[in-house]
């Protein structure tokens, strides 16, 4: 029986993976880094501590990871303030599920970006708890951010349903013991083996209903 629902943010409610990709690629190229085609896919799900270290160590940016993270967040905040890439049907899907269950959010985004996105998107009031992976020990695909969301909701992970789009996100939620509704990211789709882990796979948020979750 479902007692709570936990959403991912990037790729589920926001069409933002491409924004992250563009911002980090532009910064890497500006600073003489070694950007490559798989960089974004490898960073998906990482916490800010992990991906900023990746950009320093693997992509060769000279700034410290802390400086890299701060600059990426600054640019993302500017992008969100100019236009929040809310996916069509996102607000309606959140409202439908919030009318029946307490909602949590488990995101790899920085805390500042989570709060800004929910405020600009007028979604903050629907979420009882929000967790950034920078607030736990490990980012996705480790289960930490989902386990922390369940803890803050005071619900056993096995009684939670996660809404996810990516390989690392689906694997993180399953590792936490949650059931998973997958809505594959069209830009960075999860592999078939990962999709087989999902309990339900949908094509869009329009299909996300209380009956599907229940």
1 burial level (CB within 10 Å; 0-12, 13-18, 19+): exposed
Q: In 3D, which of 206, 205, 146 has the Cα closest to residue 170?
A: 146
Q: How far apart are CA 118 and CA 45, in angstroms?
A: 19
CA 48 to chain centre: 12
Can you read off the two tokens belonging to residue 50? 């992990």
Q: How far apart are CA 98 and CA 110, in angstroms?
A: 23
Task: Please indicate whether residue 8 is annotated as part of the active site.
Answer: yes
Task: Please indicate whether residue 10 is annotated as part of the active site.
Answer: yes
Q: In 3D, which of 195, 147, 145 has the Cα closest to residue 167?
A: 195
8, 15, 21, 144: the catalytic one is: 8
| Active site residues per annotation | 8, 10
């Amino acid at each position: 029986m479902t007692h709570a629902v936990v959403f991912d943010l990037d790729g589920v409610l926001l069409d933002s993976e491409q924004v992250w990709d563009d911002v980090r690629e532009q910064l890497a190229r500006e600073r003489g880094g070694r950007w490559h085609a798989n960089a974004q896919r490898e960073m998906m799900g990482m916490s800010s501590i992990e991906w900023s270290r990746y950009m320093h160590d693997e992509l060769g940016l000279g700034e410290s990871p802390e400086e890299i993270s701060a600059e990426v967040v600054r640019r993302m905040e500017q992008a969100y303030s100019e236009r929040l890439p809310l996916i069509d049907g996102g607000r309606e899907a959140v409202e439908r599920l919030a009318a029946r269950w307490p909602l949590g959010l488990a995101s790899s985004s920085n805390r500042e970006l989570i709060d800004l996105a929910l405020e600009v998107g007028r979604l903050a009031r629907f979420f009882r708890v929000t967790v950034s992976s920078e607030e736990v020990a490990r980012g996705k695909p480790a289960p930490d951010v989902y386990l922390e969301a369940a803890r803050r909701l005071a619900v056993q992970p096995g009684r939670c349903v996660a809404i996810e789009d990516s390989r690392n996100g689906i694997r993180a939620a399953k590792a936490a013991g949650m059931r998973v509704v997958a809505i594959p990211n069209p830009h960075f789709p999860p592999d078939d083996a990962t999709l087989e882990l999902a309990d339900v796979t949908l094509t869009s948020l329009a299909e996300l209903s209380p009956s599907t979750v229940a």
